[in-house]
Amino acid sequence: MTGEPLLSVRDLKVVFGLDEGSVRAVDGVSFDVMPGKVVGIVGESGCGKSVTTKAMLQLVDPPGRIAAGEMFFRRAGGEAVDLARLDPRGREIREIRGAEIALIPQEPMASFSPVHTVGEQIVEAIRLHARQWRPEGGAVSRSDARAIVVELFRDVGISMPEQRLDSYSWQLSGGLRQRAMIAMALSCKPRLLIADEPTTAIDVTTQAQVLALLRDLQKRHGTAIVFITHDLGVIAQMASHVVVMYLGRVMEEGAVDAIFHSPRHPYTRALLRSMPGMHGETRVALPTISGTLPHPFNRPTGCPFHPRCEEAIAGRCHARVPVLRPVGGGQSASCFLHHDEAEAT
Amino acid sequence: MSSPVGAQPLLRVRNLRKFFPIVKGVFRRTVGHVRAVDDVGFDVQEGETLGLVGESGCGKTTTSRCILRAMAPTSGEMLYRRRDGSTVDLAPLSRRELRPLRAEIQMIFQDPFGSLNPRMTLFDNVGEPLLVNGMLNRGERMDRVAELLRLVGLRPEFMHRFPHAFSGGQRQRIGIARALSTNPRLVVADEPVSALDVSVQAQVLNLLLELQERLRLTFLFVAHDLSVVRHISDRVAVMYVGQIVELAPTKSIFERPRHPYTAALLKAVPVADPRVSAGDVLLKGEVPSPANPPAGCYFNPRCPFADERCRREAPVLRELASGHSVRCYHAERLELAVPQERIDL
Ligand SMILES: Nc1ncnc2c1ncn2[C@@H]1O[C@H](COP(=O)(O)OP(=O)(O)OP(=O)(O)O)[C@@H](O)[C@H]1O
Ligand SMILES: Nc1ncnc2c1ncn2[C@@H]1O[C@H](COP(=O)(O)OP(=O)(O)O)[C@@H](O)[C@H]1O
Ligand code: SF4
Ligand code: SF4
Ligand SMILES: [Mg+2]
Ligand SMILES: [Mg+2]
C-alpha cells in the first residue's frame, strides 16, 4: 500500500482489572487503516474486536484501561495525534468522536436514546459538530440541520424522510433503524467510520441491502471504514484488507484476496475450513479446531493458538510468543512456521 | 438417507395454523390476529433431517412450538407415528395425553445459556427428564448421565459441576445430552448453533450428524443461516410470512430454486470469497407483518414477477416435480438466477 495511513495502531494493549485477576482483552494489536479503504477485523467472540474499537475512541468501559501502545490518527488539519494519549473526557477526543471518527456500535439500541426522536438526536449531533458543516465557522440552525438530516435519510435509502425523522428508534423496523444509525454516524462527515457488527442482528435480505448501502456510501464519500464481524462471508464482500484476531492478538493480516486464497496462519486456515459453505458436499463432518477457546484468565504461554494448533512446533511454540512479521505477498503473520521472531521476554 | 417410497412419515403436518390475537384497550378487545403460522404442511421421514429456514418472524419457532405442543395450534393436524406403529394427532391432545409422548419428542434450544438451570449440576440438568420419566434410582441415573455425557463428547467427571463453568459450545452439548436422555425419536432443534462461533458451530454440527446416524434420530432443524441448513438437511422447507413457499431436497433447492423468494434469499447470502462479487440486491422493501399480510400472494409486493393474478389470488403449495413443491403461480416459467459459482483454488 502506498501513502500515509489515516490510522496507525501499534502494540495496543487493553487490560481489564477484575477482582479475580486481570483480563488482557487486547494484547499487542497493530494494524493500519489507509484513507478511503475498508479494513475488516474478524475473529471469534471475545477475541477483542469491540474493545479495540472502543479504545480508538477512548470509550473503554472501566475497569478496563489502555495499558500500552499507540494509535496515531491523522486529523483533518494534517497533524497526527496519538489517540491512546488523549484524556477520555478531554476536549480533543470529544472533537474527534462523531466528527472525525464515528462509531456504529454493536448493540443496536445503544445508538439512540429512546426518549428523543431519531431526528432530534441527529440534529443535535450536527449542531454540536457545526464545524464539519461550516468550515468557515458559525452555527448550524435547527432548520438547516433538519434539512441536512432529510438529505442524509434520503442518502441511506429511508423513504418518506420527513415523517421518519419524527419517529423514535423503537418505532422503526430493524432495517430502518440500521439505516438511521448509519445516517447518524455519517451526519458529521467522518473520515473514519467504525462499524461494529452492523448487520449481525438483522436478516440476510436486509443485510444485503445494508451492505450494499455501506459499499455505495464508501465509494461516493471515500470514507475509510473499520468493519468488524465474525462472519467470513461479510468480510469477503466488504473489506479490502483483513485483520484476523485470536485471544487479543493479530494472527494474520493482509489483502482480502490473500487472506481468503492463500492464508498463511494455521488459525486463519482452520477458521476458513470449519465454515459450511453454499457449495460443496453436505452432511459430512466439517473440519474443526480441536479443543476450546481458553478462559481469559488462563491464557496459554507462548503462541496463544498453540494448544489448538495442528502444526505447533514442539519446544518452540509453547515457550515464546511469535510477533507479527511480513511473510511475503503483502501479508503478515504471527507464526513460527514463517519466521523466527519472538517477543522479548 | 432416504426411506422407502411410500413409507409412512414419522410426522405429517397438515394445514397447521397458529394465530395470536391482537388485543387493545382496557376491555382487551380482539382487534385482529398475527398469522404466525398460516397453513403449513410437510412430512418428516424417519431418520431424515428436514431443515426449516426463513427470516426472523416468519414462523419457524411457532411451528416448532406447536409440534412440541408447547402451545396449542389454532387448527390443523400433526400426525405422529408412535414406536408401536399407531398414529396419533398431536394437535388436540390434553396435557395428560401428551405425557407419554414427551419422551419420544424432544427439543434442543438456541440459547445454551438460558436452557439450563444454573443452580443445578449437570447431573441434575441432564438427569431431570429421566427422573420425570420414572427412573427413580439415583445410581441408575448416574450411569445414564455418564453415558450421555460421553456420547456428546464431555467427560463424565463434569457431572457434578454447574453450567456456568462451561463454554457456549460445551453448554450446547449439555443441552443435547439432556434432549437425548429419554431416547427420543424426533428431535426438534430451534436454532441450535446460531449463538455459536464458526469453529464451535462446526463441532456441534458434526456431533448432531454423528448422533443422528448412531441413534437413528429424526431432526426438524430450524435455523435462519442458509449455509448451516444446507449442510445438515436432507430436505429444506423455506418459510415466508407464516407459510412454506418452497419445499424440496437440499440439492434441488440450492441449485435450482423455483420460488422467487428462495432465489432472492440465496442471492443475499454473502459468499465467503472476495473473487465472487456481491450481486445486485434483488429484494427491495421489507417482509410484511404477519398481522397484516398483503392480499393475494404474500410475496407479491416484493416480487419482480408479480402480475394481476398474484395480487388478487393466493397460490397454494403444489408439487412441481417429484418431491419439489412451490407456492407460486409462475414457477414453471421463471428463469431464476442460480447463485454464482464459487471459484475454488
Ligand atoms: N467491561 C468489561 N469488563 C471485563 N471484561 C471485559 C469487558 N468488556 C470486554 N471484556 C473482555 O474483553 C475481551 C474482549 O471482548 P470484546 O468485547 O472486545 O470481544 P469481541 O471480539 O468484540 O467479541 P464479540 O464477537 O462477542 O462481540 C473478552 O474476554 C471480554 O470478556
Ligand atoms: N406469543 C406470541 N404472541 C403474539 N405474537 C407472537 C407470539 N409468538 C410469536 N409471535 C409472532 O408470530 C410471528 C412468528 O414468530 P416466530 O415463530 O417466533 O418466528 P421465527 O422463529 O421464524 O423468527 C412473529 O410475527 C412474532 O412476532
Ligand atoms: S506459532 Fe506455532 S502454535 Fe502458533 S500458529 Fe504458528 S505453528 Fe501454530
Ligand atoms: S405467485 Fe406471483 S407474486 Fe407470488 S411468488 Fe409467484 S410470481 Fe411472485
Ligand atoms: Mg464485539
Ligand atoms: Mg425463532
Question: Whose CA is closest to B100, among B117, B116, B80?
Answer: B80
d(CA B300, CA B305): 8
Which pTM was predicted?
Answer: 0.91
User: Taking a C-beta distance cutoff of 8 angstroms, is the pair B293, B35 a contact?
Assistant: yes
Q: What pLDDT does residue B326 have?
A: 98
Confidence grade of residue B136 (pLDDT, cut at 50, 70, 90): confident
Residue B337 has what pLDDT? 62
Cell 445508538 locates to: A111
Question: Chain B residue with minimal CA distance to A158?
Answer: B285
Q: Is the pLDDT of residue B41 over 60?
A: yes
Average pLDDT (B146-155) is 92
Task: Give bridge partners of residue A70 from the DSSP assignment.
Answer: A10
- Strands, sheet with B87-89, edge to edge from the N-terminal-most edge strand: B29-44, B11-24, B75-81, B87-89
Q: What would you report as the CA-atom Rg of chain B, rounded to the nearest whole angstrom?
A: 21
Distance CA B236, CA B221 (A): 9
**What residues sit around ligand 6, an ion, with C-beta below 5 angstroms?**
B 61
A257 CA: distance to closest CA in chain B (Å): 6
Residues from chain B that touch A261, judged by Cβ atoms under 8 A, are 274-275, 345
Find chain B residues with C-beta within 8 A of A49's C-beta.
none
Q: Is the pLDDT of residue B345 over 60?
A: no
Asked whether the beta carbons of residue A276 and residue B231 sit closer than 8 angstroms, the reply is yes
Encode pLDDT of A221-266 as tens digits. Answer: 899 999 999 899 999 999 999 999 999 999 999 999 999 999 999 9
Its ipTM equals: 0.89
Mean pLDDT, rounded, for B161-185: 91
Closest-CA residue to B220 (of B198, B260, B254, B247): B247
Place of cell 382487551: B28
Q: Where are the alpha helices (DSSP H) in chain A?
A: 49-56, 91-96, 118-128, 142-155, 161-164, 174-186, 204-221, 232-238, 256-261, 266-273
Task: Give the pLDDT of residue A306.
Answer: 97
Backbone angles phi, psi at B102, to 5 degrees: -55, -40
Q: pLDDT for B62-119, tens place per residue?
A: 999 999 999 999 999 999 999 999 999 999 999 999 998 999 999 998 877 778 999 9
Instruction: Categorize the per-residue pLDDT at B2 as very low, low, confident or very high, splitting at 50, 70 and 90.
Output: very low
Calpha distance B63→B237 (Å, rounded)? 12
Q: How far is CA B46 from CA B40, B91, B295, in A?
A: 19, 20, 37
CA distance B335 to B52: 24
pLDDT band at B1; cut points 50, 70, 90: very low
Identify the pLDDT of residue B342: 45
Q: Give B271-320 as a DSSP string.
A: PS-TTS--------S-PPPTTSPPSSSTTGGG-TT--HHHHHS----EEE
Q: How many CB atoms lie within 10 A of CB B183?
A: 12
Least confident of A300-304, B271-275, B341-345: B341-345
Instruction: Please name which of B236, B240, B320, B278 lies closest in space to residue B60, comparing C-alpha atoms.
Output: B240
- Cβ pair B272:A289 closer than 8 A: no
Q: Please name the member of A173, A270, A277 whose beta carbon is closest to the beta carbon of B272.
A: A277
Helices (H), A129-255: 142-155, 161-164, 174-186, 204-221, 232-238
Q: Point out the ligand 1 atom lying closest to the alpha carbon of residue A44.
A: 25
Residue among A248, A235, A244 nearest A264 (CA): A244
* Pairwise CA distance, residues B201 & B45, whole Å: 25
Q: Which residues of B touch A286 (CB under 8 A)?
A: 202, 205-206, 231
The DSSP bridge partners found for residue A24 are A15
Q: Are B281 and A270 in contact (CB < 8 Å)?
A: no
Range with lowest mean pLDDT among A36-45, A170-179, A313-322, B328-337: A170-179
The answer to whether residue A327 scores a pLDDT higher than 70 is yes
H or E segment to which residue A64 belongs: strand A64-74
Q: Is A173 on the interface with B (CB under 8 A)?
A: yes
**CB-CB under 8 Å, B339 with A285:** no
Cα Rg for chain A, rounded, in angstroms? 21
Q: Span A308-331, mean pLDDT?
A: 96
Q: How confident is the model at residue A132 (pLDDT cuts 50, 70, 90)?
A: confident
**Band of residue B4 on the pLDDT scale cut at 50, 70, 90:** very low
For B30, what's the count of Cα atoms within 13 Å in the CB-facing half-sphere? 7
The predicted-structure confidence for A167-180, as pLDDT tens digits, reads as follows 998 888 877 888 89
Average pLDDT rounded to a whole number, residues A16-24? 88
Is A156 within 8 Å of chain B by CB? no
pLDDT in tens, A180-229: 999 999 898 899 999 999 888 788 888 998 899 899 889 988 999 999 99
Best of A279, A281, A308 to mutate (most B CBs within 10 Å, chain B): A279
Mean pLDDT value across chain A: 92
User: Which helix (H) or strand (E) covers residue B229, if one does?
Assistant: helix B226-232
CB B104, CB B69: distance < 8 Å: no
Q: A194 vs chain B: nearest CA distance in angstroms?
A: 20
Could you tell me if A200 lies within 8 Å of chain B, comparing CB atoms? no
Report in angstroms the alpha-carbon separations of B41 from A234, B37, B102, B252.
34, 10, 22, 19
Element (H, E) at B240: strand B235-240
For cell 489502555, what's the residue?
A66
User: Quick one: which atom of ligand 3 is closest to the CA of A306?
Assistant: 3
- CB nearest to B198's CB, from A44, A256, A292: A44
Higher-confidence residue of A292 and A308: namely A308
DSSP string, A178-210: HHHHHHHHHTT--SEEEEESTTTTS-HHHHHHH
